[in-house]
Amino acid sequence: MERKGNILIVDDDKDILLTARIVLKKQFELIRTTEKPEDIPGILQDASVDVILLDMNFSSGATSGREGMGWLRKLRKLDDSINVIMITAYGEIDLAVKAMKEGAVDFIVKPWDNMKLLATVMAAYRLSQSRKEIETLKSTQRVLTRDIEQPFSEIIGSSPVMKDVLKVVEKVGKTDANVLLLGENGTGKELVARLIHRRSNRADKIFIGVDLGALSDTLFESELFGHVKGAFTDAKEDRAGRFELASGGTLFLDEIGNLSLMLQVKLLAAIQNKEITRVGATQPKRTDVRLISATNMPLHEMIDRNKFRQDLLYRINTVEIRIPPLRERSKDIPLLINHFLNIHSRKYNKPFPEISKSDMKGLINYNWPGNVRELQHLVERAVIMSEGPETRLADFIIEAGRPKFKPEEILNLEDMEKITIENAIARYRGNISKAAKELGLGRTTLYRKINKYGI
């Protein structure tokens, strides 16, 4: 039988301490003893304690129980999650009952029956574990409630590049390997992460995601590693972090490229050691997560610029999967459009709209800088704006400052080239070098075309 649980016994009688240790040591992982109640705060700083056995009297000849009651009250303030069992003599049972009203979970009368002692401590330990499980469940429920509000979308695509992605997903899903997903914003990295989880041996366990890009440096540790009550001003209760909540399942770290070097060190330690320490706590907790990370940033280039740790990259990219942008999978655009039209026509109680061939051609040839996310938003807008059974291209209002397609323009190669260049420049906010690289052009060639089209 695996031994678990940490027990602290506080009594001024050495024989009592020795006897209790012998009785309990086969059942519990760590038994600590002390004759001085003054040692309790220091012990709690050094180790996590599940159950404390506390004597009622410590001074020679004392029978009032005042000392034990005083230390019980102090314990409730120090950590009210610890279950306290009072040790009392036969004539002090009334005091023990009073102690239970003050927060003790039980009492044991000395001299005790060893089986009675073991049963009492075991019951208190199980109660302690139940409280911790409830606390974890509450934290998990908060996270899952937010997660459930985000509707799940399936991966739509039959293009060769997406088939290649799905083949890799099938292979890696069956393992516990850490996966790094690379791709532009809006390409569906979280959908791929969820698919990997559903293909894994952890599919019946929890999937928890966290957007690292949205976390400030001050919130990072609390969100990922959790905190204990009183660790900071707003810490009104113990709370498990994402690593604890996802233990046994999958943890998805989105926007990992946005982490500062200082936070990268803390994340690396948690991954390497497979344990975390809550903010304000002293004892680490073991975790077991399958890690999937994602970013739209060039991590390999960031290593050369000392913006990302190479050892962290090695830890998170056992397998690396690139999610292609929508412009590289144009064959999937009609499938995606029809998929989103079906969803949003039902959502807004409108007839399923049709899109003309010329308009569909325009949408296929559009550069889609916002990828699938942009397409979904524009389809939703088109459904809202449509007034008849046929959805016109004009209903797809492209991002401010971007040209709208017209059927006659789609047939003009020069206009298409101009639109593509404008999209690339807008995407990279005027950075000509990056736009040229995406377009496969030299800087000089791109400048010449900018002048040609009056961009």
- Convert the pLDDT of each residue in 194-222 to its tens digit: 999 999 999 888 899 999 988 888 889 99
Among the listed residues 216, 206, 201, the one whose alpha carbon sits nearest the alpha carbon of residue 251: 206
Burial group, residue 61, by CB count within 10 angstroms (0-12, 13-18, 19+): exposed
By percentage, how much of the chain surpasses pLDDT 90?
44
3-class secondary-structure state, position 210: strand
Question: Across the chain, what does the average pLDDT equal?
Answer: 84
3-class secondary-structure state, position 38: helix
Among the listed residues 120, 241, 234, 185, the one whose alpha carbon sits nearest the alpha carbon of residue 368: 185
Locate all alpha helices (DSSP H) within 47-92, ordered by sequence. Answer: 66-78
pLDDT of 395 reads 57
pLDDT of 288 reads 94
- Token code pair at residue 291: 């890690």
3-class secondary-structure state, position 155: coil
The helix (H) or strand (E) run that includes residue 433 is helix 432-439
pLDDT band at 192 (very low <50, low <70, confident <90, very high): very high
Q: How far apart are CA 50 and CA 56, in angstroms?
A: 19
pLDDT at 148 over 50: no
3-class secondary-structure state, position 298: coil
**pLDDT (tens digit, 9 = 90+) per residue, 311-340?**
999 999 999 999 999 999 999 999 999 999
Residue 402 or 321, more confident:
321
CATH topology identical between 6-130 and 160-324: yes
pLDDT at 399 over 50: no
pLDDT at 390 over 50: yes
**pLDDT (tens digit, 9 = 90+) per residue, 288-306?**
999 999 999 999 999 999 9
Q: What angle do CA 220, 222, 227 make, to 5 degrees?
A: 165
Does CATH place domain 160-324 in 3.40.50.300?
Answer: yes
pLDDT band at 138 (very low <50, low <70, confident <90, very high): low
pLDDT of 213 reads 84
Does CATH place domain 327-453 in 3.30.70.270?
Answer: no
- Quick one: DSSP state of residue 199? T
Pairing of strands 354-355, 390-391: parallel
- Token code pair at residue 157: 């695509």
Among the listed residues 70, 114, 109, 73, the one whose alpha carbon sits nearest the alpha carbon of residue 93: 109
CA dihedral 222→223→226→229, nearest 10 degrees, is 60
The helix (H) or strand (E) run that includes residue 275 is strand 275-276
Q: Is the distance from CB of 224 to CB of 263 less than 8 angstroms?
A: no
Backbone angles phi, psi at 92, to 5 degrees: -110, 20
Among the listed residues 126, 125, 76, the one whose alpha carbon sits nearest the alpha carbon of residue 103: 76
Q: How far is the CA of 379 from the CAs of 196, 259, 348, 393, in angstroms? A: 27, 33, 12, 10
pLDDT of 137 reads 67
Average pLDDT over residues 441-453: 76
Question: 6-130 has which CATH code?
Answer: 3.40.50.2300
Residue extents of the structural domains in the chain:
6-130, 160-324, 327-453
